[in-house]
Structure 1
C-alpha cells in the first residue's frame, strides 16, 4: 500500500529552526553563486568563446532566470526544506521525484569538494606544494588542506542554521564587495579596448555555436546553480513571503556582477605579459593565467594599487569558494532530508541533532565529500559533470508551477509568476538546452550515472512504498546493473568514447552509429521493460505514479542521441549541425514540457501539503 512521505515529514519539518531573514536568503543566493565560478569561469569562457563569452553569461542568466522564477513561486507556496526533491513528488509522484532526487543528489554532493579544490588551487599561488608540479591537481598536502576545509564546512552546518546563515550573511558582504572592486580596478587600470573586436577573429572568433557550448562547459551555468539555495532552505525562513524578494534580489545582483566581470576580464588581458599571441584566446587556458586568472592579472600588472588589492583578492579566493562550500554542505543534508521525506531514503535521514539540523545528512555530506576529493583531484575535472547533472535535477521546474496552478488554483501563494504558461515552458526549454549544450563528452557519463540510480527505486522505493516484493525488486535491480555496466563498456565507452578522447573528433562511420544505437535500444528496453514488469500488479494509484514519470525517461533518451549526432557530439562533421540541432532541442524541450505538465496528478502528498499550508497561513 502506498504510504505518504509528506505526512511523516510534517513532524520533522516542525522541529526545524525558522531563523533565516530576507537578507539571509539573499546572501544564501549570493554566497552560493559567487563561489569558485567567478574565480575560474571568466578565463575558461574566454578561452572557448573569445570576447563573445560576455554573451554566454548574459544568455545563461536569462535561461536560469526562467528556471529560478518557476521554483520561487512554488517555494513561496510550500516553504519546505529540501524542496527541490520534495516538490516533484507533490505533482508527479514517486517515479518522477526519484529521478529528480537522484540527479540532484549526484551533483549537490560534489559541489562542496569542488569549492574546496578551488580554494586549495588559489592558495597554491602562495604555497606551491599544494599542487602536483605541472598540473592543476592537488598534491597529498593539498588533499589535507581540502579535507580540512570540508571539515570546517561540516562544523559550521552542524552547529545550527542560524550560525551558518549569519556567518554567510557577514561573509556575503565581503564576497560581494571584492568582485565589485575587481571589476572597477580592471576597467580603470588594465582596459585594452582592442581586445573586444580588434584582434584576429573579431568578437566571436570561434563561431556562434561556441557561445552556447560555453554555458555548461566552462563554469557559467555552474556558477548560476546557486539560485537553488533559497528553495532548499525555504523551510527555515522566518517569513515565507520574503523568499521571493530575497531570491530575486540575490540572483539579479550576481548576474550583473558576472556579466561585468567577464567584460572586464576580456578587456584586461595583456597578451605580452601572459606570453600568448594576441587573439589566441584558446592559448590563455594554458598560460600563467590558469594558476588563478584574476589574481595573475592583478600581480602581473606591476601597478602598486593592484598588487596591494591582490592580497585582499587572495582572501576572497578562500572565502568565496568556502562560502559556497558550506552552503552546499547544508544543501546536501537538506536534499537527503527531502528524499527521506519522500520515502526514497530511510527515515533516519530526517533525524535532527540538538541544534535542529539534519544529522545524518550532514555527516553523509562530509564522508561523500572526501570520496569526491579522491576521485576528482582538480576543479576542471568536476565542474562540467556537476553542471550537466545539476540541470537534469531542474527538469520539473516548468511543469511544476503550471500543474499547481491547475490543480490548486486557489491555494495561498506569496508570489505568482506572471504569464506562467510562457514562463514555465521557457523554464523547461532552458533546462533541456543547457543539458544538450553540455557536449556528448560530458553527457554520456552523466546519463550513465543517472541510469545507475534506478535499481534503488526497484529495490527500496517500490517495496517500501508500493508493496512490491523485495526479492523481485532486488532481482530486477541486480539484472539492470549488470546489463547497464556491460553495455556501457562494450557498446559505448570502448568503441566510441575512448577513440573520441584520443582523437578529439571521429570521422563518420557506420560502426559508431551501430554501436551507439545498440546501447540506446538496450538501455531503453531495459528501463521500460523492468519498470513495467515490477508495476504489473500495482493498483491504479500506484500506476499513476509510474505513468507520471515517463516524461523524465523521455528526456534522457532524446537528449543523448541528439547530443551524439549534433554539433557537440563525437563527429568532426556533425550530422545535425548548428543551429538546426539547437532548434530541434527547443522543439523537443517544448514537447517534453507539454507532456510533463499533462502527466501531473493530485497525489496524496499534495493533498497533505495543501492542508498543511492552509493551516500554517490561518
Structure 2
C-alpha cells in the first residue's frame, strides 16, 4: 500500500529481503525506545518529583503500552515502508499521509544529530576533553550506523542484537548494583515522597514522554519481517516488558540511592549508580553506556527512516531518487540522505554553538504530532481491542500536546515545505487508497 493509494505491483528486482526475526525485532524495538535519555531522565525526573517520580514512570509506561500495541496492529495489517504515512493516508487521505510522513522524517533526521551528539558528550567528558570533542565522536557514531545499514538489514539487525543486549545488561547491572545502598525512607514519609506534589509528578511525566517514544520506528520495517503476523505483536509485548523492567529498575535505583538533586549529578545519575556499585568511574560507566545506546538508537532510526524516505519518494512526496535500492533491497539513497541530514545537523550545531538542549524540542514536537496522526488513524482503521488501545493512546497523547505549544512553528514549517514540494512536482493526490497489502 502506498501513501497515495497506488496499487502494489509484483516484487521488482532488488525488493527488500525478509530477514527480521523475533530476536532482531525485539532488539530493534529496544534500540528505538531505550534511547540516550535513560542516562539523564531518571535523575531529572527525581529532582522534579522526588520518589513520586516513579509514578510518572508508571504513567508513561502505561501510555507506552497502547501506543506500542496500536503501531503493532497497524504494521501487521498494513506492512509498508511508509509506516505512519501509510496509516494516515488510509485513514484521512493522501495529503494527511504525506504530511505525517514528512513530520516523522524531519523528526528522525533531527534525531540523527541529537542522539549521536548525546553519546559524544559523555565520551568527551570521560576523556576530559572540551565539548568540541563531542562532535567528531558523534560523527563516528553516525558513520558506523550508516555503514551497518548500507551493508544490509541482515548485518544491521545482528549488530542491533549485540547492542541491545549490551544496553540491557548494563542497565540491569546498574539497578542490581544499587540494591545494597537503597534506602526506603523517602517512600514511607509522605512529605519526602512527593516534595513538589501532583504538579511535580505531572511535570516529570511530560519530560518522560520521549523516554517511551520510538514504537513507531519498527513499523517502517514491517515489510522486511520474515513473518510479520507472528512476530510483530510478540516482539512488541516482549519489548514493553523489557523496557518497563529496565526503566523502572534504573529509576528506583536512582531514587533509592538519592543520586539526584543537582543538574550535574542528574546528567550522570545512572553512570554514578553503575560506577559506584561496580567500583569504577561514573563518567567512564556513563560514556560506555551512552556510546552503546547512541549507536543502537542511531542504527534503528537510520533503518526505519530510510525506508520512509523510499516510500515518500515512491509516492511523489520526496525526490524520486530516494526510491533507488541495491540488489539486496537496501534503499541506499535513503540511508545516505538521512545520514547526510544528521551530519549537516552536526555541522550546523558546531558552527552555531548549539547543544542538544537547544535541539531536542524540534524532534519532540514533530514526534508528538506524528503520534496524534498515528493514533487517530488507529481509531479509524482498527476494530475491537486494538481500536480501544488507539483511542486510549490518542486521549493521553492529546493531554500532553498543550505542553509542546511553544514549538508549534516547527510542524508548521515542515508542513509548508512538504506542500511546496508537492505543488512543484505537479503530482495530484489519488482520491482514495485501495486495499493492497492487506
TM-score after normalising by structure 1: 0.65
Alpha carbons of 1:456 and 1:142: their partners in 2 closer, same or farther (altered >3 Å)? Answer: closer
1:449 CA drift (Å): 1.6
**Is the 8 Å Cα contact of residues 67 and 215 (structure 2) preserved in structure 1?**
no
**Is the 8 Å Cα contact of residues 196 and 266 (structure 1) preserved in structure 2?**
no
Partner of 2:410: 449
Within the alignment, does 1:31 sit opposite 2:19 as a pair?
no
**Is the 8 Å Cα contact of residues 124 and 130 (structure 2) preserved in structure 1?**
yes
Within the alignment, does 1:236 sit opposite 2:228 as a pair?
no
Within the alignment, does 1:206 sit opposite 2:196 as a pair?
yes
Within the alignment, does 1:45 sit opposite 2:45 as a pair?
yes
**Is the 8 Å Cα contact of residues 61 and 224 (structure 1) preserved in structure 2?**
yes
Determine which structure has greater relative contact order: mean sequence separation of CA pairs < 8 Å that are 6+ residues apart, divided by chain length.
Answer: 2
Alpha carbons of 1:87 and 1:105: their partners in 2 closer, same or farther (altered >3 Å)? Answer: same
Determine which of 257, 271, 292 is the counterpart of 1:295: 271
Alpha carbons of 1:379 and 1:198: their partners in 2 closer, same or farther (altered >3 Å)? Answer: farther
1:89 CA drift (Å): 1.1
Determine which of 340, 355, 358 is the counterpart of 1:378: 355
Partner of 2:173: 181
Partner of 1:339: 312
Within the alignment, does 1:403 sit opposite 2:380 as a pair?
yes
1:202 CA drift (Å): 2.0
Partner of 2:95: 95
Alpha carbons of 1:208 and 1:99: their partners in 2 closer, same or farther (altered >3 Å)? Answer: farther
How far apart in 1 are the matches of 2:13 and 2:249?
A: 40
1:106 CA drift (Å): 2.3
**Is the 8 Å Cα contact of residues 112 and 326 (structure 1) preserved in structure 2?**
no
Residue 388 of structure 1 aligns to a residue whose secondary structure is: helix
Alpha carbons of 1:12 and 1:457: their partners in 2 closer, same or farther (altered >3 Å)? Answer: farther
Alpha carbons of 1:12 and 1:74: their partners in 2 closer, same or farther (altered >3 Å)? Answer: farther
How far apart in 2 are the matches of 1:233 and 1:397?
A: 16
**Is the 8 Å Cα contact of residues 379 and 388 (structure 2) preserved in structure 1?**
no
1:237-271: CA deviations, max 9, x gaps? 0111211111221122102211221111111126x
How far apart in 1 are the matches of 2:13 and 2:45?
A: 41
**Is the 8 Å Cα contact of residues 42 and 266 (structure 2) preserved in structure 1?**
no
**Is the 8 Å Cα contact of residues 216 and 434 (structure 1) preserved in structure 2?**
yes
User: Which structure would you say has the larger Rg?
Assistant: 1
Residue 7 of structure 2 aligns to a residue whose secondary structure is: helix
Partner of 1:490: none
How far apart in 1 are the matches of 2:333 and 2:36?
A: 27
1:87-144: CA deviations, max 9, x gaps? 211221122113312221221112232221221122133212142xxxxxxx1x3211
How far apart in 1 are the matches of 2:116 and 2:77?
A: 34
1:471-492: CA deviations, max 9, x gaps? xxxxxxxxxxxxxxxxxxxxxx
Alpha carbons of 1:458 and 1:437: their partners in 2 closer, same or farther (altered >3 Å)? Answer: closer
Alpha carbons of 1:181 and 1:296: their partners in 2 closer, same or farther (altered >3 Å)? Answer: closer
Residue 192 of structure 1 aligns to a residue whose secondary structure is: coil
Within the alignment, does 1:432 sit opposite 2:398 as a pair?
yes
1:331-388: CA deviations, max 9, x gaps? 2212212322332112221211344211221111122112322445433333343223
1:204 CA drift (Å): 1.8
How far apart in 2 are the matches of 1:448 and 1:50?
A: 33
How far apart in 2 are the matches of 1:172 and 1:427?
A: 26
**Is the 8 Å Cα contact of residues 5 and 341 (structure 1) preserved in structure 2?**
no
How far apart in 1 are the matches of 2:360 and 2:204?
A: 12
Report 1:487-502 matches (<5 A). Answer: none
**Is the 8 Å Cα contact of residues 67 and 430 (structure 1) preserved in structure 2?**
no
**Is the 8 Å Cα contact of residues 70 and 378 (structure 2) preserved in structure 1?**
yes
How far apart in 2 are the matches of 1:372 and 1:466?
A: 30
How far apart in 2 are the matches of 1:366 and 1:43?
A: 31
Determine which of 184, 203, 206 is the counterpart of 1:216: 206
Report 1:280-429 matches (<5 A). Answer: 283-285=261-263, 287=264, 289-299=265-275, 301=276, 305-307=278-280, 314-376=287-349, 377-405=354-382, 418-429=384-395
1:418 CA drift (Å): 4.7
1:198 CA drift (Å): 4.1
Report 1:260-299 matches (<5 A). Answer: 260-269=249-258, 283-285=261-263, 287=264, 289-299=265-275
Partner of 2:113: 113
Q: CA RMSD in A?
A: 2.7
How far apart in 1 are the matches of 2:282 and 2:122?
A: 15
**Is the 8 Å Cα contact of residues 29 and 217 (structure 2) preserved in structure 1?**
yes
**Is the 8 Å Cα contact of residues 102 and 450 (structure 1) preserved in structure 2?**
no
Alpha carbons of 1:51 and 1:233: their partners in 2 closer, same or farther (altered >3 Å)? Answer: same
Partner of 1:592: none
1:510-546: CA deviations, max 9, x gaps? xxxxxxxxxxxxxxxxxxxxxxxxxxxxxxx97xx6x
Aligned residues: 432
How far apart in 2 are the matches of 1:34 and 1:94?
A: 32
1:454 CA drift (Å): 3.1
**Is the 8 Å Cα contact of residues 371 and 397 (structure 2) preserved in structure 1?**
yes
Residue 345 of structure 1 aligns to a residue whose secondary structure is: coil
Partner of 1:585: none
Deviates more, 1:51-60 or 1:334-343: 334-343
Partner of 1:535: none
1:576-595: CA deviations, max 9, x gaps? xxxxxxxxxxxxxxxxxxxx
How far apart in 1 are the matches of 2:64 and 2:187?
A: 26
Alpha carbons of 1:4 and 1:294: their partners in 2 closer, same or farther (altered >3 Å)? Answer: closer
